[in-house]
Structure 1
Amino acid sequence: MATLTQSVQSSDSYFAALAVAERRALHSFFDQHVVEDDDLGHFAFDEGDYNALPVHLASRIVHTVPGAMLEF
């Protein structure tokens, strides 16, 4: 039964992080990533916060929302 509870919490944190990433992407030039973490569950991550995406984060990305702002 613990696995079921953990799975529900994990999916809740995924959808919460996805909602944050989608909102941020509307107003950003950078991609927004949903990253899986053992302690936090899932969290939204702005690619623009880093010059180069660290490998330890890139390997845990489970979904990416492209930035919606365009440069002309």
Structure 2
Amino acid sequence: MQIITTAAAADNAAYFAAVTNADRRAQHSYFDQHVIQDDELGYFAIDEGDYGALTPTLIDRIVYTAPGGIIDEI
């Protein structure tokens, strides 16, 4: 039996909440949604379109990407 500590459970919950948020936002966006891991903030989702070109430091902290769901090509 594996025991999950409270901190690990909270970390997992934060990760899955950010993934859910990114997936939901991606359905209505032209841009990819990334989940970023941050030591101070935990996990959060960003819209690639809000940040333009992502810095290499930010790219290295991406742990999940949901592709944008709106296609602008006809």
Is the shorter-chain TM-score for this pair beyond 0.5, marking a shared fold? yes
The range that moved more, 49-58 or 27-36, is 49-58
The offset of 1:6, in angstroms, is 1.7
CA distance in 1 between partners of 2:10 and 2:36 (Å) = 15
Give the drift of 1:58. Answer: 0.6
TM-score by length of 2: 0.87
1:55: Cα distance to partner? 1.6
Larger of the two Rg values belongs to structure: 2
- 2:40 paired residue number: 39
d(CA) in 1 for partners of 2:57, 2:6: 27
Output the CA distance in 1 between the equivalents of 2:33 and 2:39.
19
For 1:1-72, what aligned pairs fall within 5 Å after superposition? 4-72=5-73
- Gap runs ≥5 in structure 1: none
* TM-score, scaled relative to structure 1: 0.89
Paired residue type of 1:16: A
State the SS of the aligned residue for 1:10. Answer: helix
Cα shift at 1:61? 0.4
Q: How many residues align?
A: 70
**Segments ≥4 residues shifted beyond 3 Å:** none
